[in-house]
Structure formats: C-alpha cells, structure tokens
Amino acid sequence: MQDLKPFKLKLEALKAEITHRISAIDKDIRHEGMSADWAEQASERENDEVLESLGHSSSHNLIMINNALKRIDSGEYFNCSHCGEAIPTARLELLPFTTSCVNCAEKFEH
Ligand SMILES: [Zn+2]
C-alpha cells in the first residue's frame, strides 16, 4: 500500500495556491483598489483578457485538483481512471492531479 499522505499534502498546497490566485485575479478584473491614475487604468483594462484566460485555466486546474483529492479519499488515486492500471509514482509526483496512466493520457488527452 503506497503512502497517500505526501500526495494529499501536495494537492492541498496546490489547491490553496490556486484558490488564492483565482481570488487575486477576480479582484484584478473587478479593479478593486484601482489607482486614480488614468493611464494605469487603461493598461489595466488591456490586461483583462489575459487575466480572464488565466482565471479560466486556474479554475480548470482547481477542478482537477478537487477530483484528485476525491480519488485519494476513495482509494483510486494510484489507478488510471480509464484502464485501471497503476499510475507510476514518478508520474504522480510530476503531475499530482493526473487521473490517467501515460498510455491513456496519450490516447484520451490529445
Ligand atoms: Zn490507463
């Protein structure tokens, strides 16, 4: 039985970081605490599009992390969600929120 704890801690740290990033981006988009400087406001607006796409990928990552945490709780974390084969620990260390083995990732995620 492999030790889930380091993966769980890693995922929880990632989750905290991404949650923080999403709320920071939200604030930026709403221009909370915006400076009174007009030139700066204009360039802040130009950044909105970039921020929104960043926010989008962060939300996507958050979904994947929550999914991985659920898989830890249900004991499925080390198994591929497609074929049920074990996912190598080295892969999970690199991509702690992955849900598939290398073969299935190549088949389904491209
Ligand atoms: Zn697989």
How far does the centroid of ligand 1 lie from the alpha carbon of residue 66, in Å? 20
How high is the mean pLDDT in each 10-residue block of the chain (110 residues)? Answer: 88 94 83 61 69 79 94 95 94 93 84
Task: Give residue-wise pLDDT tens across range 27-58.
Answer: 887 776 555 565 566 666 667 777 777 777 88
CA of 95 to the centre of ligand 1 (A): 15
Determine the distance separating the centroid of ligand 1 and the alpha carbon of 17, expressed in angstroms.
28
Cα–ligand 1 centroid distance for 52 (angstroms): 33
- Ligand 1 center from residue 107 Cα (angstroms): 9
The pocket of ion ligand 1, defined by CB under 5 A, consists of 80, 82-83, 85, 101, 104
- Residue-level pLDDT at 14: 93
Q: Within a domain: residue 33?
A: yes
Q: What is the span of the domain harbouring residue 69?
A: 5-77
CA distances from 99 to 37, 63, 71 (A): 47, 12, 9
Q: Per the domain annotation, does 82 fall within a domain? A: no
Domain count of the chain?
A: 1
Q: What is the reported pLDDT for 66?
A: 96
Region of 55 (left: φ > 0; alpha: ψ -120 to 50; beta: rest) is alpha
What pLDDT is recorded for position 100? 93
Instruction: Let me know if residue 45 belongs to a domain.
Output: yes
Q: Is residue 100 part of a domain?
A: no
